[in-house]
């Protein structure tokens, strides 16, 4: 079967080198803190955020709702799960429809000093309002609150908007690697 190689960046934020601005949500949006009863809500937002994006090609679990549910269960059941770094954003609604969850982020602690951001997702209809930036900053606050000194995330290099946002927030590229994915089309390097 043909293979496609996706270029991935590991980027890191170091609290010892950079301050952290406060996360801000636009009017009409509110924070939703972690609760175990929200696993399916996180999975639904994750699926809506990633299903038509490049990361659903890189990680098959992001391409369907059952995969997103399994992934969310794996994250929430991980021994290093950080509830203080795990958030959702809810759009309060308007005259056309009621409240809807529209952003998600999760955090894991790998060591006493190192955390990892998982799956920054904003559904397409709510992009362009700064919700991704707010999610990252809120998650970083959670990590900082438990004493983590550095936080990393991984991003597909072809996701230019995300890479640019992470750089603007102070994340620095620390490693480049390639993820091998079996495909039905001719081999490619993305």
Distance CA 55, CA 112 (A): 29
Work out whether the CA dihedral 14, 19, 25, 31 comes out positive or negative: positive
Per-residue pLDDT of the chain (190 residues; tens, 9 = 90+): 688 899 999 999 999 998 899 999 999 999 999 999 999 999 999 999 999 999 988 899 999 999 999 999 999 999 999 999 999 999 997 777 789 999 999 999 999 999 999 999 999 999 999 999 999 999 999 999 999 999 999 999 999 999 999 999 999 999 999 998 887 655 556 6
Distance CA 8, CA 88 (A): 25
If you write DSSP's letter for every residue of 92-121 in order, what string do you get?
---SS---EEEEEEEEEE-SSSEEEEEEEE
Q: Note the pLDDT of residue 189.
A: 63
């Amino acid at each position: 079967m043909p293979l496609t190689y996706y270029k991935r960046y590991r980027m890191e934020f170091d609290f010892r080198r950079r301050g952290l601005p406060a996360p801000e949500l636009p009017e009409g949006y509110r924070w939703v803190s972690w609760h175990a009863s929200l696993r399916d809500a996180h999975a639904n937002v994750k699926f809506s955020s990633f299903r038509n994006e490049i990361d659903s090609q890189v990680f098959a679990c992001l391409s369907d709702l059952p995969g997103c549910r399994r992934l969310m269960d794996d994250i929430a059941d991980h021994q290093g799960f950080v509830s203080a770094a795990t958030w959702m954003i809810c759009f309060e609604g308007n005259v056309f429809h009621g409240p809807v969850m529209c952003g998600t982020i999760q955090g894991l602690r790998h060591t006493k000093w190192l955390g990892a951001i998982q799956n920054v997702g904003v559904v397409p209809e709510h992009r362009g309002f700064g919700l991704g930036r707010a999610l990252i900053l809120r998650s970083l606050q959670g990590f900082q609150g438990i004493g983590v000194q550095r936080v990393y995330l991984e991003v597909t290099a072809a996701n230019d908007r995300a890479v640019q946002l992470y750089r603007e927030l102070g994340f620095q590229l620390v490693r480049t690697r390639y993820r091998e994915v079996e495909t039905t089309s001719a081999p490619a390097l993305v």
